[in-house]
Structure formats: C-alpha cells, structure tokens
Structure 1
Amino acid sequence: MEYEIRGKNGFADVEVALDSNEQILAEPGAMVSYDPGIEMTTDTGSGGLLDSAKRSMLGGESVFMNTFTAQQPGSVYLAPPAPGDVRARFLENETVYADSGSYLASEPNVEVSTEFQGASKFFTSGDVFLLKLTGTGTVFVDSYGAMETIELAQGEQFNVDTDHIVAFDASVQYSTFRPGGVKSRAFGDEGKVAKFSGPGTIWIQNRDFESLAEKVAEEIPGGGGDGGGGDDDGIGVDDFL
C-alpha cells in the first residue's frame, strides 16, 4: 500500500493506492471515490461485532466499517468530514490512542477498539472512551483545523486542552485537571487540560468543533445562547466533575 496526503489550507484528503488483494478500512462517509477494480463492502470491521457494537454505544463510533479490497491495482480517495488535516502513523506492533472523532482509516492488521478513561472523563464533551489503535500497519487520523505534531523527549511535559487532542502514542503518560477549578469553566470558558509526559508523540488540532457548535447555537433563536430563549445555559453537572 502507498498513499499521498493531498490538499492545502486545511482541506486535506488522502489517496490510498492498493495493489491486488490489498485492503484499507475506513469510517463510513470517508470515501470520496474509488477506481474500478476495487470492491467496497460494509461490515463490522476488524474488531468483530461485539467490539464494534461497544464502539457504537460507548465510544461514539459507527458499528460498521467500509472495507475496500483491490481486485486489481487502483486507488481509494478518502477525506475527513470537516475541514482539516490528515496525518498517517505507521504502527509496528504499537498502540496509539485517538479521539473517537479523529479516526479516518487504517490497514486491516490494525485493531480498532475502545478503552475506558476512568471515572474522570478525558474530554470536556463527555466521552469516557478513547479509541485504541493497535497492531502493525498505517493509521490515518484527521483534525478539525490545522494539525500539529508534538514530539516529547523522556520526561518532557506538555499541556493541552483536551478538546484539541487528536491522538497520542501509548508511551505518553497523561493526567487531566481543570485549571482554575469550576470557575474556569463557568466564567472563563476553559475546559479540561491534559498534562502529557514523554517520551512519545501527540497530535493536536488548532480548532475545537465543540466550540464551533456552541457559537452556532448562540445564533439560533431558542438555542440557549440568547440569555433566555433556551433551557441550557451551557453549564451542566458534568462540567463540575
């Protein structure tokens, strides 16, 4: 398998060139087009039905995956759902964790599963599961906005808002905290922060889809952002956990 990440200015896509009998698995909706001679099937992916169902109910991912198999050499063109970047990471019997919305595609030898984050949610949006990508093969992740790669040396630390996290190596240690406590979320509009410690790589995005959704909701009458038209003031019980 060969690939080329194309597109500039936050509108990236990826061309995946497959030889005969090679495969690539992708999230539903990621496919832009594919060449004749490539067959697309929809199934529960490499994790099996039980694991895929768990991803759907608990990790926010679809039950189904699209599998593209080359009957003869050809290309599949994939793109993320929102304007942003795409990055590839080759795993060699390794593990990468990703935000559930950042997975785009992977080779079939990479197992896509979920891992519970514990009682304190990792992401401000409320997700309590991370995607766990394990095995040998190439994984493609996408971002909302521009994506930056941060390489951490042994013991080197880096802090980032959890809603700006795309993915990180399993070798990276992390903990989460809320800077400024409850007041920070209620009045400063800041959520949780992840404190990462190397060695390893993390990928972050410079835009936050949750913030965009909130801004859009503020412009909709009765959406909760007009001070009296909605029932939700943007702060819930989860924000205090």
Structure 2
Amino acid sequence: MNNHEIDYKIYGDDMQFVEVELDPRETVIAEAGGLMMMEDGISMETIFGDGASAGGGLMDKLFSAGKRILTGESLFMTTFTNVGTGKRHVSFASPYPGKIIPMDLSELGGRIICQKDAFLAAAKGVTIGIEFQRRIGAGFFGGEGFIMQKLEGDGMAFVHAGGTIHKKDLQPGEVLRVDTGCLVAMTSGVDYDIEFVKGVKTALFGGEGLFFATLRGPGSVWVQSLPFSRLASRVFAAMPQSSGAKDEGSLAKGLFNMLDGR
C-alpha cells in the first residue's frame, strides 16, 4: 500500500466524530479546523495542499494547493503524525449534523468523486484533487457546480454529509435519479448527467427544482437526506423580515451565520 494504514472508530449519531488510531510514524491528513482533540505524542503541521507533492518543487506545491481553492476548500491542510513510541489517537468532528462515511479506497477502485465540501480526513497518501464535469449541463445545473472533489489512493478516507446517508449499488445500465443537492459521492464508474424535470407544471410548481441528477451504473452512489444548502435556506426563509422583530431577527441571523461557518 502507498497510503498509511490507520484504524478508526466513529462515535455519536447525529453529530459524529471519528477517532483515528495512529501507530508510531503514521500520519493522517485533515481539513484545517476539523480537529476535535488529540493525545500527547502527536505532532501537528500545516501544509500546502494534501502533501502528495511534498517531494516536488514549489510549483508542484502551489498547483496542489490551487486545486483545493477551486473546490472551495482552504489553501492549507493539517497533518497529524504519531511521533511517540506507542499508539496515539486523534479525533475529527463533523461540521454540521449528519454522518461520517468511512471509505476504503482500496475496495472502491482507488477513486471516489464527491461533493466539494465533503472531505473530512484521510490517511496520508490519499490525494485530494478536482474532478471537472465533462458535460456542460452537469457543470452549470448540477447543484454542486462544474467542479467536484476527487479522492484517490488505496487508504482510508472519511467523508461527511448531512442528515441520513444511504448507499445505493447500481448494476450496469441501472439508472437512479437524485435531487442535485442530495448527491454526496460516487465511484468513478458511475455516469453522471443532469436531466430537466419533465412537464411545465411540475417544473414550476413542484418545489423540487428544475433539474435532477441522473446516475447510471455500474458503481456505488451515496445520497444524503439533508444537504447543508437546504438546511441553511430553510433557516434563512424563517428569519423575520419586518423591522418590528429586531431581537428575534438578530437571533435568527446569528444562527444562520453560525451554520454558514461565519
């Protein structure tokens, strides 16, 4: 294996965190700000990108970090390395209510495509890149934009999404239609496209949007029941608009900003 072999345990139900067990010299990479707690003997270091091009030059490192900007992520990532002599533990928390999905890339063809803010942590050696949608329609109307995240390697990766997560295994030629915001991840063999909702009345008054994602097997698809964008829009819609409810509106605005990470 090219990736570090890490053990893990997931705690909680709706607000989960993952505890990673590191042997001496093992390393895990994570999004900046994802740390919950770590034991003594673990060294923390901030790096450009995912560290996959650590042996390359400055341009390689800048390109690796630049790819993360395109997916809406931070320019930096953090590595956690066990520099002690025994096993040590480090934990990472989910940013909003939902589930953490452990993915063994060695069992998933070595490549996963996911929504651009889904990545939480992974064994060192997993590369976090960008996946451009080949079809213009999928890029502009896909809900996740023209760019998605691409996780490659043969180690463990942890992805987070909102609400309840459902995994669907598609047979060759089998089609699944999903709300564009509910798509979390898919294996590289799944064909992804965007389809316009049929019928004028359904499109205008159905309340489900004008487009949905069409996924064609073979491969595996992960779907979330509560996209963060849907949660945030409901909170925003419930905010009082009149000036007479100043205190209540300020409270709702503060809650929205907290959910939005401000």
Please give the range of the TM-score, normalised by the shorter of the 2 chains.
0.7 to 0.9
Q: Report the TM-score, using the length of structure 2 for normalisation.
A: 0.78
- The 1:138–1:182 alpha-carbon spacing in structure 2 relative to 1, beyond 3 Å, is farther
Residue of structure 2 aligned with 1:163, choices 181, 189, 202: 181
Question: Considering only CA atoms, is the larger Rg found in Structure 1 or Structure 2?
Answer: 2
The ranges of structure 1 where at least 4 consecutive aligned residues each deviate by more than 6 angstroms after the TM superposition are none
Q: Which residue of 2 aligns with 1:197?
A: 216
The one-letter code sitting in structure 1 at the alignment partner of 2:136 is A
Residue of structure 1 aligned with 2:66, choices 53, 56, 70: 53
Matched, 1:80 2:97: no
Q: For this pair of structures, how many residues does the alignment match? A: 221
The one-letter code sitting in structure 2 at the alignment partner of 1:144 is G
Superposed CA offset, 1:153-190 (max 9, x none): 22222111120111110011121112137765653332
Q: Which residue of 2 aligns with 1:150?
A: 168
Partner of 1:143, secondary structure, is strand
Q: Which residue of 2 aligns with 1:32?
A: 36
- The 1:50–1:184 alpha-carbon spacing in structure 2 relative to 1, beyond 3 Å, is farther
Q: Which residue of 2 aligns with 1:22?
A: 26
Q: Report the TM-score, using the length of structure 1 for normalisation.
A: 0.84
Q: Matches of 1:166 and 1:101 in 2, distance apart?
A: 9
Superposed CA offset, 1:193-238 (max 9, x none): 1111222111111112212222222233459xxxxxxxxxxxxxxx
Matched, 1:209 2:213: no
Identity between Structure 1 and Structure 2 (%): 35
Q: CA RMSD in A?
A: 2.1
Matched, 1:70 2:82: yes
Comparing both structures, which one devotes a greater share of its residues to helix?
A: 2
Q: Matches of 2:102 and 2:144 in 1, distance apart?
A: 27
Q: Which residue of 2 aligns with 1:7?
A: 12
Superposed CA offset, 1:65-100 (max 9, x none): 111011122011111100111111111261100101
User: Mean Cα displacement is larger for which, 162-171 or 191-200?
Assistant: 191-200
Which blocks of at least 5 consecutive residues in structure 1 are unaligned? Answer: 224-241
Matched, 1:109 2:125: yes
